[in-house]
Amino acid sequence: MSGPRTATAASKSRSRGGLLPVALVTPAVVLLLLFTIAPAIYAIFLSFRRMKVGKGLLGGGKPTEVWAGISNYTSTLSDSEFWASLGRMLLIAAFGVPLTVILSTLFALCLDAKRARLVGFARLAIFLPYAVPGVVASLLWGFMYLPATSPIGGDVVNYFGTKGIFFSVANVAVWGVVGFNMVILYTAVRSLPKELFEAAELDGATEFQIAVRVKLPMIAPAVAMVALFSVIGSLQLFNEPTTLKPLANAISSTWVPLMRVYTDAFVNNSIYEGAATSFVLIAMTVAATVLVSAVGRRIARRSTR
């Protein structure tokens, strides 16, 4: 889609097809409108609404839905528990994101190392957790953390303590995604031209130097992408803390922002504030996306120079 030649060639053959392409995209467009666009718009609408209790005796009478302006947003943003939940999420991300990125990069480079052994086995083994549902992974690690059943010293280390819990939740999240990211980065390493490594080797570079000085800078864009996915993933943290909650007293029902959205919407029956909180989170996701991709692009530009 880049050059003018391909553009004209493409438009010649691509403008054909009559109604077929329209028919082929119709199911996707209809479903996208119904289950993505409409809910998103409806959520925006709800975030500006609130319930008004009727003025009957003793506050009785039917409650009605009225405009709330930005009061849902201000009440979310001025709620210290919201910022506390955001802080907890960031603390988990501060463990989880670097750990995911470093481990998956390290594993990908080791997989590509020339004289490594057991590569096939390791690749499969590290990828295995991806096949384990997130909820099941949390249950699995829950047993690993529980003092009564822990094979990893749960009677010595307090995995569910007020400090340990952050590491414990981050660990479940990292365990689940590290293999998937490793495969993405490994594919990126494999697609690099082999001549470069041979040239570096002729120049007397060691395997380690090639990995750090040649391969790593060249896969920097893919690493940045993995980092972006990890950041977005941590903004959506919900399954792990929710599943560990019955086991760990340290986890409250508003422990991370999405748990608060869920609690607002389904426990407190206050969908309006939940919707506002959702949009605050979406705004943060977009900001994080822009930030990480800008940083990623800068790194990529520097590494190609």
Contact positions with other proteins (CB under 8 A) in 16-45: 16-18, 20-22, 24-25, 27-29, 31-32, 34-36, 38-40, 42-43
Number of residues that bind other proteins (CB under 8 A): 112
Number of CB atoms found within 10 A of residue 105's CB:
25
> Where does this chain touch other proteins (CB under 8 A) — which range of 11-19, 53-61, 67-75, 86-94?
11-19
67 binding other proteins? (CB under 8 A): no
Q: Is 291 in the site for other proteins (CB under 8 A)?
A: no
In the bound state with other proteins, the residue whose beta carbon lies nearer, of 162 and 187, is 187
268 sits near other proteins (criterion: CB under 8 A): no
* Binding test (CB under 8 A) with other proteins, winner from 2, 55, 80, 148: 148
The yes or no reply on residue 14 touching other proteins (CB under 8 A) is yes
The one segment of 65-73, 161-169, 194-202, 231-239 that binds other proteins by CB under 8 A: 231-239
Of 75 and 238, nearer to other proteins (C-beta) is: 238
Residues 151-190 that bind other proteins (CB under 8 A): 151, 175, 178-179, 183-185, 187-188, 190
Considering beta carbons, is residue 155 or 195 the nearer one to other proteins? 155
Q: Which one, 97 or 247, has the nearer CB to other proteins?
A: 247
Q: Which CB, 19 or 58, lies closer to other proteins?
A: 19
Is 300 a binding residue for other proteins by CB under 8 A? The answer is yes
Q: Which of residues 96-135 bind other proteins (CB under 8 A)?
A: 103, 106-107, 109-111, 113-119, 121-122, 124-135
Cross-strand partners of 51: 65
On the CB side of 186, CA atoms within 13 Å amount to 22
Q: Which of 15, 55, 58, 62 binds other proteins (CB under 8 A)?
A: 15
CB of 84 to other proteins, least distance (A): 20
Q: Least distance from C-beta 200 to other proteins, angstroms?
A: 14
SS (HEC) of the chain? CCCHHHHHHHHHHHCCCCCHHHHHHHHHHHHHHHHHHHHHHHHHHHHCEEEECCCCHHHCCCCEEEECCCHHHHHHHCCHHHHHHHHHHHHHHHHHHHHHHHHHHHHHHHHHCCCCCCHHHHHHHHHHHHHCCHHHHHHHHHHHHCCCCCCCCCCCCCCCCCCHHHHHHHHHHHHHHHHHHHHHHHHHHHCCCHHHHHHHHHCCCCHHHHHHHHHHHHCHHHHHHHHHHHHHHHHCCCHHHHHHCCCCCCCCCCCCHHHHHHHHHHHCCCHHHHHHHHHHHHHHHHHHHHHHHHHHHHHHHHHHC
| 293 scored as a contact of other proteins (CB under 8 A) | yes
